[in-house]
Structure formats: structure tokens, C-alpha cells
Structure 1
Amino acid sequence: MAALGGVAVGVILVLLTWLLVLMTKDDPAPKAADTPPSAPAVAAQAPAASAPAPVPTRTVVVPKPPVKTTTAPALGDVRSLPAGLFCRDLDARGYSYVAAIDYWRMHGQPNQMDADRNGIPCETVYPRSDVAAYWNGRVISGAVYWTAGLFCRDLAARGASYAEAVRYWWYYGMPDRMDADKNGIPCETVYSSVAVNSFWYP
């Protein structure tokens, strides 16, 4: 009986020793969860430090301002218009001053387009700058240098001819003070009837 007890104790000691050896023995293939990650793995897990993303550049397109026109677009070639039109008709249709001159010459330089008969048509309808540019300043001569507001007697006292008085009257918008009876013939009571009739009825 004592021998059997000694065998049992020996078996228990062997088993304990064997269990102790197993627990302390190195595992040749450690589990990935049990081992700390290597340097490359850490680098893979950590967010990579990179250069800041470039800020996209924007191209600013500045639109061109629309071209402004002062008159309506012209309706066709001025040569296709019928005879008998006035300067105001051409301007209302959008024709330039140069086109008005072409029309005036094409139809024999009618007096209805040059009432003061100074050879410069449409000078009271189109802008003064356009008229002066076309005639190289010829329209800005003589009586038109005098200031606005004068009467026929003022022009006569300054030595203006009847033709210059008419030009002045047209240049400043045909004021009633220079044509009291409003018959379209200014200064007829100040200048002689000979001068007036020779101008209007040559």
C-alpha cells in the first residue's frame, strides 16, 4: 500500500513538472494579437504625415462691359431710302452723321437738310462734336462762338451778317426771341428785307 502511494505521488510530480515545462516553453509561432506590432506595422497603422494639399487657384474672368450705343441701329443702306427725308428722320432711324451727309449729297443737297444754307447740313440735329469732326471745325466758326441768349439786334450790333445770324439761331435751337412771329425766318425785322430775301429766296 505504501508503494502504491509513492507511485501516485511520483505520477503527480511528473505531471506537474510536465505542466510547468509547457507553460514556460517559448511558442515558435506567437499569435499576432499577443505580439507587439513591428515598426512597419506601426507605420502602416499611424496616419502618414504628408505635405499640405495645394490650394487650388481660381482664374477670375472679368466680363467686358457691353458697348453702348446712343441711337437705334440703322435700317439698311442710306442709299435705299426715299428722297425727301429730313435730318431728324435719319437720326431717328439710327444713321450716323456721315450717312446723313451721304444722303444729303445723293439727293442734290436739299435745303430742308441745311436751312441756314451754310453748306453744313444737319448741324442742329446731330451732336456738335460729330459735325465739327466731319468738317474739321468749320461749323464752329463765326457767330457760333458768341454766347447763347443774344437777340438779333445784338448780333447786328456786333457786325454779324444775316447768314451768321441765321446760323446762330439754328445753332442755339431756333429760340423764339429771334423769330417773334414764328414763321421760321429769324431776324426779319432787324436785317434789311434785301438781305433776308436773298438768303431765303436766292
Structure 2
Amino acid sequence: MAALGGVAVGVIVVLLAWLVVLTTRDDPARKVADAPPSAPVAAAPAASVPASAPASVTTRTVAPKPSVKDTSGRDVRVLPAGLFCRDLDAKGYSYVAAVDYWRLHGQPNQMDADRNGIPCETVYPRSDVAAYWNGRVISGAVYWSSGLFCRDLAARGASYAEAVRYWWYYGMPDRMDADKNGIPCETVYSPGAVNAFWNP
């Protein structure tokens, strides 16, 4: 008898649950709540973003994303990989475009020889570089006079990184890169030092 009563209670619970499902499925208030997001719902988050973080929105959209277009409207994405700062300058690209190119291609060391995170600072005017980086100090001053060879720098105790910096600073003279492969002083400094610099 108790088992029969338990079955009856179970059947009643199932029927009640089914009745609740049927009545709420067609409920107009439920339909509004389950409706797909409409224009007012999508507009609400957009309106709240400036109120919550106005400064961070500006910073995020300006700094990390490359503009990929020069001030003249030329797109740096059409340029092949492997160019140097001097190549971009010779083609008439602005400093902003050069930084965009550097970022698009993974920030290659060939465009930032001293690896201070500021590419092309020895090729473009310092005023353009400072304006872009908001006056950030450009590090790596060169203390030696122009006209030196790689062997002169090595004799003065300059590291390979300092020799590359010197080469960049004075316009990448051929006397420091006889085979013109874009890697100066590789016959004066050890292969280990050269490889460690260009392939960290």
C-alpha cells in the first residue's frame, strides 16, 4: 500500500512539473526575458564603457595597435618583410609608419639594434622619435667619434651590441659591413657574440 502511495505521489509531481513548463513557455513576460538582445540591450554596454574607464580605452586603442597606414595613406602591410629602417626612410615612410612596420613583423632586432624598445631612432629625426614616444628618453648615446672601424671599437673594449649601435648611429657605413649583409663587424667579433645578438 505504501509503495502504491509513493508511485501516486511521484506521478503527481511529474504532472505538476509538466504543467509548470507548459504554462511558463507561453508566458508573455517570459518571452520578453528570453528574447534575443535587441538594439537597446547592445547599446547599454557601449554607454557604460566610457563611464567606467575613459583613460584605458584611449590608451589601448592608440598604443599597441598599429595604424598600418602612413600619413600619406600608404599601407605598410604591402611591404615585404625584412626591411631596415633606412629602407622605409628611403621609400618616404614616416616614423609612425616605420614603428607600425616594426610591430607588424614582430619587432625585429634589425630595426632596434640597441634593443631599447624604440626602433629606428638613429635613422629618423630625433624630434619625430621623441614626439611619437611622448618624450621618452632615447638611451644609448654614442661616445666615439665617426670614422672608426670595427677593429677600433673592439680595441676600445666596445661590446658587439655597442659596435652595432655605433654602426647604426653613423649611418651604417660599408667599412663596418664589407659584405653588405646588414650584420656589421661579424669578422672582428666572435661568431658567438654575433649570433647571440641577432638570434637571442
Q: TM-score, normalised by structure 2?
A: 0.49
Higher RCO structure, 1 or 2 (CA under 8 Å, sep 6+): 2
Which protein shows a greater Rg?
Answer: 1
Q: TM-score, normalised by structure 1?
A: 0.49
- Which structure dedicates a bigger proportion of its chain to helix? 2
